[in-house]
Amino acid sequence: MIDTFRLPASDPGAIATAAAMLREGGLVAIPTDTLYGLAASVFCPDAVERVFTAKERQPEARVPVLIATAADLPVLTQSVPRDAWRLINRFWPGALTLVFPARRSLPNELTRGGQTVAVRVPAARTALRLLEALGEPVVGTSANISGMPPATTAEEVAAQLGGRIEAVLEDDASVAGGLPSTIVDMTGEAPLILRAGAVPADAVREAMGRRVNVHELH
């Protein structure tokens, strides 16, 4: 078992320390605007694989990616549909995840053999500061064991993942809790809402100014 360090975001050196851990292949729980996320460098395949082990997540599942700004999208995808910019301009930073065609160069540990990547820019300032300091995207899946309640405090992260990750970057004040991000697939002919969340479907339709399909679970 490894020790899990608590890094208060108010500490001037906490962001730099967390970024260094991620560069070295570590796992760091970070506060996002919805929940605490479990971050790992997307370009460190071993770290991405450790995310699945720490969360006890099914190996075929995929994980979303967090970026500091929409300008980082070319690192992850070769194609951003024109319609997607309407949603990006309206809801980023914020609780909207968009699915794009993935670059073939992305590690299989991230895409899990698929051809898409789910991306968002979080609104939490601490998360953005970390992404800016790191200078590269991170995995941004929820910081909890699969099937357990999502963590909205550093204490909840430590209770579930303590000893499985290197650190928790603490800033409970920036975590709103509530619904997770809304996920919209932009790879088809029409946008498809895969998961309803913090951004209402009607708001997505209004921003798009066109038909938006909704995935129906059966």
Give the pLDDT confidence of 88-131 residue by residue, as tens digits: 999 999 999 999 999 999 999 999 999 999 999 999 999 999 99
52: three-class secondary structure by DSSP: helix
pLDDT band (50, 70, 90) for residue 17: very high
* Number of folded domains that form the chain: 1
**pTM for the model:** 0.94
User: Cβ neighbours of residue 155 under 8 Å, at least 6 residues apart?
Assistant: none
What letter would DSSP give residue 49?
A: H
Q: Domain residues for 149? A: 5-214
Cα separation, 110 vs 117, whole angstroms: 8
Specify the pLDDT at position 99.
97
Provide the CATH number for the domain around residue 55.
3.90.870.10
108 within 8 A of 48, measured Cβ to Cβ:
no
